[in-house]
Structure 1
Amino acid sequence: MLAAHLGRIGCLAISGWPIPEKLPTDVDVIITTVDPEHREAVQGLIEQIEDLGPPIIALAEYEDPSTLQLVLELRAVSVIERPVKPFGLLTNLMIARDVWRRRWESVERVKDAENRHFALSKVAVAKIVIAEQQGLSDVDAHKSLQKMAMDTRSSLESSAERVIAEGAPPGLISALKKLAT
């Protein structure tokens, strides 16, 4: 019945029961039962789901503590009540995809912020190395690093990496490598 409702709203539904040992890679949303009697099968699904895997919609017949525990463990973005009614199915699908998209964008923003932070850390360390080696102030060390980048037609970060590789104490380089990982 669920597959029929999904087909009516234009979705390509692929059913698989019992839960397959390996999920297909081209799945946009997973709708799965969370009945306590199928707990082991659902736990197998939980183990397959990656952090940024497809969003999950739980299909439940009634609320009880064990069902809610499964919903939480699945990190389901919504719950559909059985018997399935067509009203609200499309809404739940849209919400599930939107939640997944926002989660994906958040992870990407965090990665970008970490990369920017690491690049700025390299520049800061390179300025310290230049200041120590040449006896310059922080502002003059920054200007020197900028001039080096312009002269070599490279980015500030690349120039900072060169300064660190050529003139930083070995302990500082290993600490930076640890920060990068």
Structure 2
Amino acid sequence: MIGLNGKLLCSIVLAIGFVGLLGYGLVSHAAEDIVVNTTTSGGTIVFQDNDSHGVFHIGRASTDFRSNATFSNSIPSIETGTGRSVFTATWRNDQKNEFSSAKKATFTLTVWNPAGIPHSTTQESEGINSGTLTVSCSPFEPGEGRFELTSTVHERRLNLPAVLHR
């Protein structure tokens, strides 16, 4: 009698565990990363026909999870030579995630040389944090390039209709 009850209990526990795993798989598969807000600012870089170089702070970017606000502010233009130049931007995330929220801030600095080749770096943050984005560039020829500084708030959201219609 005890053996039968033990087998039945084991079968029930295994069935509940299987349903739980299946549910977890569906929910994790149904979650998608949604862009809540994004802001981009940028400018031009004139690479002169000389070997001068330097370190240039081009701007700052920030996000605020509470208001889903993004901010990006940069200088309009830079002049440098074709030697190795370094471009920096500061970033800051002002708020931590609220309970049961799955927000993420992404900060990207991209520099295009005169040939149109991008040089980029990205930093992600899920809480109160700050830092510096750094990109170096050494173009072979003079000309005009450009840069962009972007701040984005993403949120992981559940999309059950996407799973149910598969």
What is the TM-score with the length of structure 2 in the denominator? 0.22
Higher strand share: 2
Higher helix share: 1
What is the TM-score with the length of structure 1 in the denominator? 0.21
Larger CA Rg, structure 1 vs 2: 1
**Bigger relative contact order, structure 1 or 2 (CA pairs below 8 A, ≥6 apart):** 2
